[in-house]
Every structure is written in C-alpha cells, then in structure tokens.
Structure 1
Amino acid sequence: MKLSTRGRYGTRVLLDLALLDGEGPVPLKDIAQRQQISLLYLEHLIAPLVAAGMIRSMRGARGGIWLAKLPQEIKLSEVVELLEGSIAPVDCVNDPKACPRSDSCVTRDIWVELKEAMDGVLESKTLHDLVERYGGKEHRAEAMYYI
C-alpha cells in the first residue's frame, strides 16, 4: 500500500512539467536537479510515461521532455496505475482466488473499501489540482550565492 519511488517520483516529475507547461522541452538534468532525483533513475522513469502518451521527448542539445496532454487531462489514478500497478493493500482484493477464505473474510471487505477509497481520491485528482495546491504551499527557495 506504500507507494514506491516510481509512483512518488513519477508524480513529482509530471508536476514539475505541469508547472512549466508551455515553455518547451525541459532538460532531464534540470528536472533531476529540482526534484533531487538521480538522472539515471529519471531516464528509466520517463520511458513508461512516454509510452503511455503522457509526455513527449526530444533528443539533442535543445531536447528534453514536456507534457503531451493538458494537466487537467492527466489523472493521478492513471499515473499511479501505470507506474505502480494496483494499489490494493492485499492480493485478495484484486484476486479473490488468492485466498481460500475470501468469500467469508470480514477483513477483506475492509481492504476492498480501503482500495475503493484510495482509487476514488486518485481518480478525482489531476495534475492541474496539484499545480493549484503547489501555488498555495510555501516553497523553500534555492540557496542564493552572491559574489
């Protein structure tokens, strides 16, 4: 039930791109630096996002990545499902045959409700919602050095 770095970092990368939407290709090294993500890890992380049509990429000196859709068109449920798979807290939620007690298990009912609640939240939120929340949060400024 705990999201891995793939889900967390992938969401942060998409938010980074949404905040810069319309500014053209964003170099991976810039995103890696801002989000404090290894460049190598970031390169692996964007492949499924490109394949899913959420972002586009361009190689070269002026290359980078950018959103392929509007921020309001990318649901967090799509991002998490793509990068994490199912977020069911236990296997029997998605596959009742995973446990011989599924039909009579009271706790499974709670796990199903929990998954449905999480799915509902993720389905109702888009990158645009994150951009709006970002604007309402205080952000630590980068260190400024003067000579």
Structure 2
Amino acid sequence: MKISTKGRYGLTIMIALGKQYGEGPVSLKTIATEHKLSEHYLEQLAAPLRNACLVKSIRGAKGGYMLASPPADITAGDIIRTLEGPITPVEGIEEEEPAKQQLWLRIRDAVRDVLDTTTLEDLCRHGDEESKDPYMFYI
C-alpha cells in the first residue's frame, strides 16, 4: 500500500487545522502558502473531508475550514481511509494461498493499528516537541 499525495496532503490540512483548533477557521490559501502546496488541489481534498464530517466549512470573508471534532477524536486512519479508501497491502487477499494470506492480513492489521491508534492530536503535538526528528512509525 502506498499513500498518495491525497493522503499526505490531507494529513497536512488536518494537522494545520488541528493546531488551530478552537481558534476559528483557517483558509486553505493560508495552509497552501505555509506548506508550498497547490490551493486548488487542497480544495479538492477538502470536499471528501467535509463529506466525511471531519471538517466543516465556514463561508464569508473570515471563513475557511475547521475541524468538526476535537483532534483527539480524529485518527490518522479516519483521514487516510476518507482520502485513499480501504487500507490493504494487496488486492484479492482472500484468493491467496493460506501462508501468503496470513502475511498480508498481518501487514494490513499492523498498518491499521498504527493509523487507528495515532490521533490528530498526537500528530499536532509532535511538531511542538523540542525534538526536530521527523515523526516515525514502525510496523
């Protein structure tokens, strides 16, 4: 399973919103500028995040996006599944021979466990720590 730019940039949006949680809406233009990303592409990602009730949009001059729930209630798995679809290392696992099937299932379960136990709050807080090492997940 390879996470595409949809998942990576979606996490970027959500982390930016999580860091501003409770402070009002944030424009996608602000996020795009800060992270040197395409505002147009971020707009395309915001729609499924809104449809999944992960973010809500506020119209108007001081509008933008904000999280629909506290960062502690949103997992990386929620975000990745919304933008990437089901988490699976290979297609057609059920058709594999038992030994390989068990391997693929264990890999899938390990990835799901990491994504489902990592909250947006965890990701937001990590950038505020004194350590400058990138957030690393081990499977």
TM-score, shorter chain, exceeding 0.5: yes
User: Percent identity among equivalent residues?
Assistant: 39
Report the equivalent of 1:121.
114
Amino acid in the other structure paired with 1:32: A
Residue correspondences, number: 132
Q: Which amino acid aligns with 2:124?
A: V
Q: Which residue of 2 aligns with 1:130?
A: 123
Partner of 1:108: 101
* Post-superposition offset of 1:135: 1.2
- Please say if residues 74 and 126 of structure 1, whose CA atoms lie closer than 8 Å, have aligned partners that are also in contact: yes
Q: CA RMSD in A?
A: 1.5
Contact 1:92–1:108 (Cα < 8 Å) also in 2? no
The within-5 A match list for 1:1-147 is: 1-93=1-93, 96=94, 99=95, 102=96, 104-136=97-129, 137-138=131-132
The one-letter code of the counterpart of 1:12 is T
**For residue 110 of structure 2, what is the amino acid of its counterpart?**
A
Q: Deviations over 1:7-32 (max 9, x none)?
A: 11101110001111111111111011
- Per-residue CA deviations over 1:88-111 (Å, capped at 9, x if unaligned) read 111123xx1xx3xx2x34222211
Quote the offset at 1:35 in angstroms.
2.0
Q: In structure 2, how many angstroms separate the alpha carbons of the residues matched to 1:113 and 1:81?
A: 18
Aligned letter for 2:107? L
Q: Would you identify which runs of 4 or more consecutive aligned residues in structure 1 move more than 6 Å?
A: none
Q: Take 1:82 and 1:27, find their aligned partners in 2: how far apart are those partners? A: 21
| 1:26 partner SS | coil
The residue number in structure 2 matching 1:144 is none
